[in-house]
Chains A and B, each alone.
Chain A
Amino acid sequence: MYKANDNSEISSLQNQFTAYLSKSIKRRKIQYLISMNKIYIYETDIDNYQNYLSVQTDYIQHINDSDMLERALIIIKEKERYILLAHVIEGKTFSEIAIELHMGYKGVAAAYYRALKKLRKIIGGYENEF
């Protein structure tokens, strides 16, 4: 058990340390996933270089894009991912999602655009690298 529940000073310190550690871990995890994503993409390109010559370019682009998108979706928060997928794939409106998640309309819209921005940042990071 890494979180103490009583209100003593010691518990408060332990909870602060837990919060500090959790935040640090999450940040490091995101950095790690982004760096692994970069390595994965470039290694795949080199390893499959011979195969690429015989396959159509659009198809390869599609595979890489969807793969990058999948990995980017793993990185963003669960709620943002849910809102994004519900709106884009299931075609739900912001109002419907807001009722479902007990959030305001503006809250859902903000989370949706924030998720899009994050995805663009993660995916776009590789394209602008060279």
Chain B
Amino acid sequence: MNFKELLLQAKERKPFAIAEIFNMYQPLLLKESIIEGSLDKDLYQELCIIFLRCIELFRV
């Protein structure tokens, strides 16, 4: 399954598609959640919410 199909499935809230895309972008989310050398779990949670919103709002 290519990225476009995956994204369309994720927009329909199919858990496997969301999980697949999440696995792709998790390193980015983790990298951005590090503040002063340590992982900020609250920020990570906020960024995960933003990730889900981005999937919903992104126009394919």
Residues of A in contact with B (beta carbons under 8 Å apart): 1-2, 4, 9-11, 13-14, 17-18, 20-22, 24-26, 28-29, 32-33, 74
Contacts and interface: CB of A to CB of B under 8 A. Distances in A.
A1 B24 CA distance: 6
A20 B50 contact: no
Nearest to B24: A2
A38 to B, nearest CB: 14
Contacts, number: 52
A43 B2 CA distance: 48
A10 B2 contact: yes
Contacts of B42: 32
Contacts of B32: 25-26, 29
A21 B36 contact: no
B19 interface: no
B15 interface: no
B58 A32 contact: no
Given A28-B46, A33-B35, A21 B28 contact: yes
Contacts of B25: 2, 18, 21
Secondary structure at the A interface, as helix, strand, loop or mixed, is helix
Contacts of B60: 13
A32 B27 contact: no
B58 to A, nearest CB: 6
Q: Which 5 A-B pairs have the closest CB atoms?
A: A14-B3, A28-B50, A21-B54, A10-B2, A2-B24
Contacts of B54: 17, 20-21, 24
A2 B28 contact: yes
Given A4-B3, A14-B3, A74-B35, A25 B28 contact: yes
Contacts of A26: 32
A10 to B, nearest CB: 5
A10 B35 contact: no
